Amino acid sequence: MEEKSYKEKKKKEIKKSILLFLGVILVFFLIFEIGLRILNYPTYGFQEGFFQADEIIGYRLSPNYSGVQSSYHRLVEINTNSKGLRDFREYTYEKGDKQRILVLGDSYSFGNAVELEDSYVELLRQSFNEEVEIINTGVSGYGINNEYLYFINEGIRYNPDIILLQFCVNDWESYKIIKENDIEKIDLRNSLTASKEGILISNVKKRLSSSIHLFFLMKLRSYNFLYSKAKLIISKINSAEKQEAPVFYMPKDSKEYAESYEGYFNLLKKLKESTNAKIILFSGPHILYLTDSEKIMQEYNLNYSMEPNQVEESLEQMTKDLQIDFIRIQSNDPDIFLKVDGHWTPRGNQIIADELYLKLKDKL
């Protein structure tokens, strides 16, 4: 009887200790969260109000915005002009004496996680000594579908001489648009849009764990702070479970790869037919291109051999068929990529700007 009473007492003490420990942890995080809010430490990514929904394009940058982007390891100042472009300059639709380049692209063109002056577009302006007008319409998360729709609805009004279309490997699956009442618009079932709070949201179904993780990143500064530090120490914190191979890693003769090729080809063709401007497609270095075939096969449990940069080979054929210039910039230097998300570092952006300047100066 005494032994049973002793065991019950011990269990109660252990339970009490666990509850006390959890309480201390909870209080610590509460104080930590309050402290970070007082210090105005931001939540992860772009802050509320940075994006706005667009029925045709899906979303765009809010005009006259001033704030920060919180990347895993830095805070970057973000400002937009009255047209919702990441630029302090204002541009009129009427073109002056200068030749005009319009940049269409995603987060790499936007200058993700680097200051404006360190982005390749800004560095390219410096190379041309501002003698060429360069309008950067790059938006994080855009694919060829968003870029095409942006151009035919807004970008074309700038009357550019050259359209510099930046390609990223994940653009391979971003070709879907729909037509309603003879109006082409984004297919929100396959694209991002913006919430009322100005935060990017997706209608694509995701795993519950990913949704919870994103929720905590956006809402809890303490979670963002600790996760950010962990990501700097551990380059890949996610589980090593086998994932379905993305389309750009599938065999070229597969149905999925062929559909992506045709989808990208068709939008690129429509873009060319919509303007008299010279279109130049360029592909910059991507961290995925540094991964060898054997590692890719292991990660995705593939039973076939493929080349990491096979999409670029497809782009060469595509641009040849469409008679569009293609610039392929390559680098095997891992230090030009941010260690966490693979975007270009300031040095990487400088390499891109230098290469583009050499290729573009003869075309103007």
Instruction: Walk along the chain (364 residues) and give the pLDDT tens digit of each residue.
Output: 556 576 677 777 788 888 888 888 888 878 877 887 787 666 667 888 999 999 999 999 999 999 988 876 678 999 999 999 999 999 999 999 999 999 999 999 999 999 999 999 999 999 999 899 999 999 999 999 999 999 999 999 999 999 999 999 989 999 999 999 999 999 988 888 888 888 888 766 555 555 566 667 667 777 777 776 676 565 444 444 557 889 999 999 999 999 999 999 999 999 999 999 999 999 999 999 998 888 888 888 888 888 889 999 999 999 999 999 999 999 999 999 987 788 999 999 999 999 999 999 988 8
- Angle at alpha carbon of residue 46, lines to 271 and 55, rounded to 5°: 40
The CATH number of the structural domain formed by 45-360 is 3.40.50.1110
Helix, strand and coil in the chain, % to nearest 5: 45, 15, 40
CB 43 within 8 A of CB 220: yes
**Domains in the chain: boundaries:** 1-40, 45-360
CB 59 within 8 A of CB 66: no
Q: Tokens representing 33?
A: 């969260």
Quote the pTM value.
Answer: 0.85
Read off the DSSP letter of residue 25: H
Q: Tokens representing 48?
A: 């509320």
Q: Tell me how crowded residue 73 is: count the other CB atoms within 10 A of its CB.
A: 14
